A and B are shown apart, each in its own frame.
Chain A
């Protein structure tokens, strides 16, 4: 049973397109996160939601919009994709201080 799952695993798209990445957790956690791992391998937090409410919003372009339809889901929608958006995006969830990560979505913008 996958605890934190993401779809799709790979996403190749053209510049200017709009795309979404989905995340689901079956751990019953209250808090979910989106991280970006860039080409320099840094894992940086983008957003976090607690019980469907946004609690962390780092310096991320407005083209990125998280949506949490319920506690178990946190989707990431990206408008007008740019070349610099190419990265691996990880979803995570937590109840306490420890976060559990999904397998990642590898986004390539051409």
Chain B
């Protein structure tokens, strides 16, 4: 039973444009959400997070939006750069559980 779903296995975006990666979750107990970026042959790297008490968190080119009623979050990258090409994992947790549940990942290709 997938509690965190990333329904797009891959996404291609032109350099300079906005990349939007989507994530849905089923467990309404989740109260903390994270995005990780992963290059081949490396471990996932923390990118940005958001608590369930917020609906938006911004860090430079990266913004995460949370829609609790829809159980949906998205990661916006603008402008997209070649170095953004990677696999992006959405993750969710119940803070008191100390356990992160990961989505399957979306591979982002930034096209020149």
Q: Which residues of A contact B (CB under 8 A)?
A: 4, 31, 40-45, 48, 50, 55-56, 90, 92, 94, 97-104
A4 / chain B contacts, CB cutoff of 8 Å: 43
A92 / chain B contacts, CB cutoff of 8 Å: 43
Q: Does B104 contact A (CB under 8 A)?
A: yes
Q: Is the CB of A104 within 8 A of B104?
A: no
> Which chain A residue lies CB-closest to B9?
A41
Asked whether A43 and B98 contact (CB < 8 A) given A97-B32, A97-B49, A98-B49, the answer is no
> Which chain A residue lies CB-closest to B31?
A97
The 5 A-B pairs at the shortest CB distance, nearest first, are namely A101-B43, A43-B102, A101-B44, A103-B43, A97-B32
B49 / chain A contacts, CB cutoff of 8 Å: 97-98
Asked whether A97 and B99 contact (CB < 8 A) given A103-B42, A104-B43, the answer is no
> Which chain A residue lies CB-closest to B87?
A41
Q: Is the CB of B41 within 8 A of A104?
A: yes
Can you list 30 pairs linking A and B with CB atoms under 8 Å apart?
Answer: A4-B43, A31-B98, A41-B104, A41-B105, A42-B102, A43-B44, A43-B89, A43-B102, A45-B99, A45-B100, A48-B98, A48-B99, A56-B99, A90-B43, A90-B44, A92-B43, A94-B98, A97-B32, A97-B34, A97-B95, A98-B34, A98-B49, A99-B100, A100-B46, A101-B36, A101-B44, A101-B45, A103-B41, A103-B43, A104-B42
Given contacts A90-B43, A97-B95, 13 further A-B contacts (CB under 8 A): A4-B43, A31-B98, A41-B104, A43-B102, A92-B43, A97-B34, A97-B49, A97-B93, A99-B46, A101-B43, A103-B41, A104-B41, A104-B43
> Which chain B residue lies CB-closest to A90?
B43
Shortest A91–chain B CB gap in Å is 8
| Residue among B49, B98, B104 facing the most chain A CB atoms (10 A cut-off) | B98
**CB proximity to A under 8 Å, residues B17-74:** 32, 34, 36, 41-46, 49
